[in-house]
Chain A
Amino acid sequence: MDKNFQEEQYTGIVKFIPPLYEQRYQFIKDLVGKYKPKKVADLGCADCTLLWMLKFCSCIEVLAGLDVCASVMKEKMHRLSPLPGDYLQPAERSLTVTLHHGSVAHKDPCMLGFDLVTCIELIEHLEQSELKKFPEVVFGFMAPSIVVISTPNSEFNPLLPGVMLFRHPDHKFEWNRAQFQSWALETARRYDYSVEFTGVGHPPAGMENVGFCTQIGVFVRKYPQTSESAQSGKPTEAAYKTVFKAVYPSLKDEKYLQNAVVSEVIFTAQIIKRSLMDRLMLEHEEYNDDPTEKKCKFQPSFNCLSEDLGKLVVEKSMEPFVNGNVVYIPLTTIFSFPKVNRLCGTFEKLHKLIAGKVTLSSDGSAVMFNTEHENEEN
């Protein structure tokens, strides 16, 4: 539960830099970097620190947390909400973060289909009865591709000052390496997983024989599960209570994509229009000293883009032009801008997304702007 300050009191003999809890989280982050899972669940997520760190990993699209203590989750859960920046520039990926209140001894269909399930310093908090059900729930029912389980290595305890029996009063047990490994191997065998052992928190020099301070088992499912076998015979009844859910704005969502495209199109078109007008104004002033009439005398079809914008204009049909008080900027020009191009992918998609949101010429080929009110002042 309060894993974050577990190491705070260590002084003297062993001190981990960075702190041990950070090393555990970094271990998970590295694992995520390696396997690129899309759906990740953290069991016993406590104050959601690991989830918060994982939300920045761009491969993850679904994040879930589970804990038996709702209040500890709630305390800081709002940091899992999208930030203003996430709304200002919606990301390409979609991301949903959900927190559930419940026990790892119970099955709930919301935990199905995950790629990675982490149980960081969880099992030692389980009562005997819960620990018994745990393998069936996690490996049998949830059956993710990878399970990571970390737990204290009791052989290390003599090196920790002040630890009498267990490292935390809520621990129900602390295993040595042999105990953990035999439990893990047996579990892996029963549910068709392979397991590798490692850990974080190196012992001090000369004491290597005690092993890592935290022992970790990484379980990988041997056979890819077919979606049918995953769903068959699974209960559909919910056992957990959802306490938090955040859906991040994403360009996968039509609403945000449309907003982004419309914004980009209008902004781009404005830049082209402004440089066109500036150029015209300059040319105009050279010939005519009277500024009051400049609006109405433009000739259509100038190629008046500034140089860098001009590079894009390869075909004659892509040139923006002015007709009377109206500036026309062909959609093909706008589509050739990298940002617009990247957002839409196809010209048809661009058409579809801006329909009804941007004023287009009658044949729908160009964005139209009125220059009438350009210089008005209050």
Chain B
Amino acid sequence: QQTLPSQPPGFRQPQQPRVPPSVSEEPGGRGRQRGPQSVPQGQNGRRPEGLQISAGFQELSLADRGGRRRDFHDTGVDTRQAIEHVQESKTGSSGIMVKLTTNYFRLMSRPQWALYQYHVSYSPEMEARRLRSALLFQHEELIGKTHAFDGSILFLPKNLGNKVTEVFSRTRNGEDVKITITLTNELPPTSPTCLQFYNIIFRRLLKMLNLQQIGRNYYNPSDPINIPNHRLMVWPGFTTSILQYEESIMLCTDVSYKVLRSETVLDFMYSLYYQVEEQRFRDACAKELIGLIVLTKYNNRTYRVDDIDWDANPQCTFRKADGSEISYVDYYKRQYNQEITDLNQPVLISQSKRKRGNMILGPVVLIPELCFLTGLTEKMRNDFNMMKDLSSHTRLPPEQRKCEIGRLIDYIRKDDNVQKELRDWGLSFDSNLLSFSGRVIPGEKILQSGSVFDYNPQYADWSKETRGAPLICAKPLDNWLLIYTRRNYDIANTLLQNLFKVTPSMGIRMNKATMIEVEDRTEAYLRVLQQSITSDTNIAVCVLSSARKDKYDAIKKYLCTDCPIPSQCVLARTLSKPQSAMSVATKIALQMNCKMGGELWSVEIPLKQVMVVGIDCYHDTLSGKHSIAGFVANLNQTMTRWFSRCVVQGHGQELVDGLKACLQTALRDWFKWNKYLPSRIIVYRDGVGDGQLHTLVNYEVPQFLDCLKSVGKDYNPRLTVVVVKKRVNTRFFAQSSGALKNPPPGTVVDVAVTRPEWYDFFIVSQAVRNGCVAPTHYNVIYDTSSLKPDHLQRLTYKLCHLYYNWSGVIRVPAPCQYAHKLAFLVGQSIHKEPNLLLSDRLYYL
């Protein structure tokens, strides 16, 4: 580091030892998929009796290393039992059968297998958990070598013979202790308690295989992929979970890649220091670092950076558990032999969620020099080349992915210690991936202004087929603005000419735009917009010379709130390639048309009087202060027009209150359009995090019902609420002529890998060019519609055809994607609720 001055001025701080400050209650959010934070966290959903095992094991199974966390698998939320029409069967029927293989292995146990659960008590009472174990295992000849013990509950693969067994041990002090071992349960393999037990044992096995736990998954550090350009290291590994699925208990495992950076937080701060001006340095650090997960050098723990304390440094002291004061420098030197070389660096603050006993531990102070960065920053995600580099390593085609998944089972089968442990417990894993049949439901006909188009089901894309065909509803461009900088005059002119060429066949009437040249400054754009927009302006098109986010944000903010008209921003670079100019012009014409309230295509929707709602959330990555939910509902029968609103969650507000208000306005607008109210409402709820299902079931659904009740006494529509999940570990492989391929779009799975306590199914709706396609999981948590599962599946798939920014089938129902787009725009650029005058148009596309 000699090339750098020894001390960036930003680090120079008065050295005053101090206690870490308390940090605000709401830590900044960076997780892109966190669920509705605002919904009150119900402490205990509805757990079946069998799940009530002692705290020690919950710790082991759920968090493994201290601290109780939420149940990421949403076990114990039994929603199917309340849905009458799927008690017998939740499977659909249409489509043709397809042979599928999936990333699940069956867990098998010996015939008549049982797990024996004992309660262990001590007289006199012994407090320390380690002492309790030591005393108990003085009787190994009785208990055997195979056991799992958390200090009070003992699991054994064998019966001790008596209901109550008493033994005596002696402590080091020569004190005699009576240990009473009482059989409390004889658990069959499918007991929920056993599931927790399986996961505990499985984690043991992964450790035996020398896999490193990081976060929830396990990684193999011995054979990393290096990406030196960005100081990245990628570790291959596995996500695993053992759960009760439709017919059997299975291990679901998928390959996972952990992106680590061989760069400490301090290294990163130094390189940032040379990229930004000094006065912006601290802000820049906060912006880049807060919310990131760091990994400490000296132990294998990960922490979230919640704050940076610039007033503290490594020479500050803290109080150890024994009451003595020690500085961070001395502590790390003594404890881990870690030298801290930069004594003026600030410290990182992490709000610990860990608990010791019932005591919540305070914030954790971390030294930047001793923390490695993990994961990708926003900047890296936006780096196209880097992401390409990364995906070339991590995006595996089906055949290869299957091999990688199979490796885990290979490791397990080949390791003697692991085999022994499994044998001792009487368990084993099936050596083959689970295979079964799914169904491929037929593709839809694309209806566009009298014409009917078929598309190639393999590609799930109809951009070629429908090119140049008239649109269902074309909005005229009578009076519109085209704004550009001097440098981009030619580009703007070419765009105009190309639009004149492509719009007639679509049926879009177009006048010449009002061409306005501006200086390349944000204020110049805004001034021109203020001066030129009149009440009959259809749309404002801005050609931007660079991808400067602030300019884009300012334009969008102005045109979505203060002066609500549709707007279209386009980068000059996008328009500058002659070979793609026409297809770009076509896309822009379509997009502009949607923003002005036009309609492109539709599919046949047999269900009448149905309102479909899509909800998705955006969590602010930087300020982390609020979440935004997008809410989109159709306004017409053909589902070509949509009502869009969003909720910006204020302080102390619940997201669900806002969603209620959205639903009310949507119904009002529906009534205006249709002169009646919908008789069915189907809500597709995206943006729900792992482990938040019970909150949805217990809080959000009742609120929706409440809201419907408030509409009118006689109004009693049928409500269906479907939780949509894109991030699942389930993968399907289609067997076709000996090779494994991605299943074709339209593949529906509602057997084998679904959960018996849920009314759930998977649909693979999109086609991917490389890698493995990710199925979308749909979980119907509330349903009074009496719709047959087959009909709901078909409707869901139809809805995946209706996203106007993509002439093809997408991963989720269109309203979810619209809601996502809206929430993203508001969260990233506008930061407050857009003007409601725009709510009947897809202005955010």
Binding site for B on A (CB under 8 A): 2, 4-6, 8-9, 17-18, 56-58, 71, 78, 81-85, 87-89, 161-169, 259, 262-267, 270-271, 289-292, 306, 308-309, 311-312, 337-339, 373-378
A169 and B207 form a contact (CB under 8 A) = no
Chain B residues whose C-beta falls within 8 Å of the C-beta of A338 in the assembled complex: 1-3
- CB pair B128 A8 closer than 8 Å: yes
- B4 CB contacts on chain A under 8 angstroms: 308
Contact A57/B1 with A84-B295, A85-B372 known, Cβ cut-off 8 Å: no
Q: What chain B residues lie within 8 Å of A306 (beta carbons)?
A: 274
**CB-CB contacts below 8 Å: B255-300 with A:** 260-262, 271, 274, 295-300
- Which residue of the partner chain, among A9, A57, A84, A163, contacts B372 with CB atoms under 8 Å? A84
Q: Is B25 among interface residues, defined by CB-CB distance under 8 A?
A: no
Alpha-carbon separation in the docked complex, A352 to B228 (Å): 18
Q: Which of A78, A167, A306 has the most CB of B within 10 A?
A: A78
On whether the beta carbons of B226 and A262 are closer than 8 Å, the reply is yes
B149-190: contact bitstring with A at CB < 8 Å (1 yes, 0 no)? Answer: 000000000000000000000111111000000000000000
Partner of B214, one of A84, A373, A375: A84
Q: Which of these, A83, A168, A259, contacts B300 with CB under 8 Å?
A: A83
In the complex formed, the residue of A with least CB distance to B214 is: A84
With A57-B337, A87-B221, A161-B173 in contact, do A5 and B131 touch (Cβ < 8 Å)? Answer: yes
Chain A CB within 10 Å, residue with most, of B130, B172, B233, B235: B172
Let me know if A85 and B295 touch, CB within 8 A.
Answer: yes
Residues of A within 8 A of B23 (CB): none
In this assembly, does B134 line the interface, its C-beta being within 8 Å of a C-beta of chain A?
yes
Most chain B CB within 10 A, of A56, A262, A270, A375, is at A56
Cβ-based interface call for B210 (8 A): yes
Question: Is B456's beta carbon under 8 Å from chain A?
Answer: no
Q: How far is the CA of A167 from the CA of B487 in the complex (A)?
A: 88
Inter-chain contact B3/A162, CB cutoff 8 Å: no
Alpha-carbon distance A81/B210, docked complex (angstroms): 8
> Which of chain A's residues have a CB closer than 8 A to the CB of B224?
87
> Is B298 touching A83 in the complex (CB atoms < 8 A)?
yes
Tell whether B545 is near chain A: CB-to-CB under 8 Å. yes
What is the distance, in angstroms, from A158's C-beta to the closest C-beta of chain B?
A: 14
**Is B297's CB under 8 angstroms from A85's CB?**
yes
Contact partner of A376 among B226, B233, B338, B385, CB < 8 A? B385
In this complex, the member of A56, A84, A89, A167 whose beta carbon has the largest number of chain B beta carbons within 10 angstroms is: A84
Q: Specify which of B3, B145, B171 is in contact with A308 (CB 8 Å cutoff).
A: B3
A18 touches B274 (CB 8 A): no
* Cβ B172 vs Cβ A9 within 8 A: yes
Nearest Cβ in chain A — how far from B506, in angstroms?
Answer: 26
B423: interface (CB < 8 Å): no
Q: A290 vs B1: C-alpha distance in the bound complex, in angstroms? A: 38
CA of A378 to CA of B387, assembled, Å: 10
The 6 closest A-B pairs by CB, nearest first: A162-B173, A263-B228, A266-B228, A56-B337, A85-B297, A168-B172
Selected contact of A290 from candidates B130, B228, B295, B487, CB within 8 Å: B487
Q: What residues of chain B lie closer than 8 Å to A375, measured between beta carbons? A: 573
Indicate if B231 sits at the interface (CB-CB under 8 A). Answer: yes
For residues 215 through 243 of chain B, which have their beta carbon under 8 Å from a beta carbon of chain A? 221, 224, 226, 228-231, 233, 235
Chain B residues with CB below 8 A from A263, complex form: 226, 228, 231, 262
Which of A88, A267, A308, A309 has most chain B Cβ within 10 Å? A88
12 additional A-B pairs beyond A8-B131, A9-B173, A308-B3, beta carbons within 8 Å, are A5-B128, A5-B134, A83-B212, A83-B297, A83-B299, A84-B212, A87-B224, A88-B260, A264-B228, A308-B274, A373-B385, A377-B547
Chain B residue numbers with a CB within 8 Å of A58 are 337
Q: How far is the CA of A337 from the CA of B2 in the complex (A)?
A: 8
In the assembled complex, the Cα of A360 lies from the Cα of B410 at a distance in Å of 40
A8 — nearest CB in chain B belongs to which residue?
A: B128
- A311 near B228 with CB under 8 A, answer no
Residue of A nearest to B491 (CB): A292
A375 to chain B, nearest CB (A): 8
Is B806 an interface residue, CB under 8 A from the partner?
A: no
The answer to whether A85 and B336 have CB atoms under 8 Å apart is: no
Q: Known: A8-B128, A169-B172, A377-B573. Is A88-B3 also a contact (CB below 8 A)? A: no
| Residue contact A267 to B221, C-beta cutoff 8 Å | no
B37 within 8 A of A: no
CB pair B128–A376 under 8 Å, yes or no, is no
Complex: chain B residue closest to A265, CB-CB: B228
Q: Which B residues are closer than 8 A to A by beta carbons? A: 1-5, 128, 130-131, 134, 145, 170-175, 207, 210, 212, 214, 221, 224, 226, 228-231, 233, 235, 260-262, 271, 274, 295-300, 322, 335-338, 372, 384-385, 487, 545, 547, 571, 573, 576
Residues of A within 8 A of B134 (CB): 2, 5
Write 6 A-B pairs (CB below 8 A) sorted by A numbering: A85-B372, A87-B221, A169-B172, A263-B226, A308-B5, A377-B384
Residues of A within 8 A of B296 (CB): 85
B170: which of A163, A169, A374 is its contact (CB, 8 Å)?
A169
Alpha-carbon distance between A264 and B262 when the two chains are bound, in angstroms: 10
When distances are taken between beta carbons in the complex, the residues of chain B under 8 Å from A83 are: 212, 297-300
Q: Are B3 and A311 in contact (CB under 8 A)?
A: yes
Contacts A84-B221, A88-B372, A376-B384 given: A267-B231 contact, CB under 8 Å? yes
Residues from chain A with Cβ under 8 Å of B173 in the complex: 9, 161-163
Q: Report chain A residues within 8 Å CB of B576.
A: 292
Rounded to whole Å, the gap between the CB of A288 and the closest CB of chain B is 10
B contact residues around A270 at 8 Å (CB): 229
A83, A85, A167, A306 — most chain B CB neighbours (10 Å): A85
- Known contacts A85-B295, A87-B224, A263-B226; decide if A9 and B171 are in contact (CB<8 Å): yes
Given A262-B228, A290-B487, A6 and B3 contact (CB-CB distance below 8 Å): no
Contacts A2-B134, A262-B228 given: A71-B212 contact, CB under 8 Å? Answer: no
How far is it, in angstroms, between the C-alpha of A166 and the C-alpha of B172 when the chains are bound?
Answer: 8
Q: Give A300 to B43 CA distance when docked, in angstroms.
A: 67
- Report whether A291 and B131 are in contact in the complex, using a CB–CB cutoff of 8 Å: no
With A5-B130, A83-B300, A88-B233 as given contacts, are A18 and B260 in contact (CB-CB < 8 Å)?
no
Q: Which residues of B contact A81 (CB under 8 A)?
A: 210, 212
Contact A164 to B226, CB < 8 A, known contacts A88-B261, A308-B274: no
B170: chain A residues at CB < 8 Å are 169
Cβ-defined partner of A163 (8 Å) among B145, B174, B274, B337: B174
| CB-based contact B262/A17 at 8 Å | no
B262 contacts A88, C-beta separation under 8 Å: yes
In Å, the complex CA distance between A257 and B231 comes to 15
- Which residues does chain A contribute within 8 Å of B228, judged by CB atoms? 262-267
| Distance A8 CA – B132 CA, assembled complex (angstroms) | 13
Closest beta carbon of chain A to B575's beta carbon, Å: 11
Neighbouring B residues of A167 by C-beta, 8 Å = 172
* CA distance in complex: A311, B2 (Å): 11
Alpha-carbon gap, A168 to B573, bound state (A)? 79
Knowing A84-B295, A312-B3, the reply to whether A291 touches B545 (Cβ < 8 A) is yes
Complex CA gap A8/B573 in Å reads 71
Chain B residues, CB < 8 A from A374 = 385
Known contacts A338-B2, A338-B3, A376-B384, A17 near B322 by CB under 8 Å:
yes
Are B298 and A169 closer than 8 Å at their CB atoms?
A: no
A82 to B130, CA, bound (A): 25
Measured between beta carbons, the chain B residues less than 8 angstroms from A290 are 487
Report Cα–Cα, A18/B320, bound state, in Å.
Answer: 11
Q: Which residue of B lies closest to A9 (CB)?
A: B173
Residue from A18, A162, A264, A311 within 8 A of B175 (CB atoms):
A162
**When chains A and B are docked, how far (Å) is the Cα of A259 from the Cα of B221?**
14
Residue of B nearest to A358 (CB): B228
Please indicate the chain A residues that have their CB under 8 angstroms from the CB of B172 in the complex.
2, 6, 9, 167-169
* Whole-angstrom CA separation of A304 from B503 in the bound complex: 48
Residues of A within 8 A of B262 (CB): 88-89, 263
Give the complex CA separation of A8 and B126 in angstroms: 12
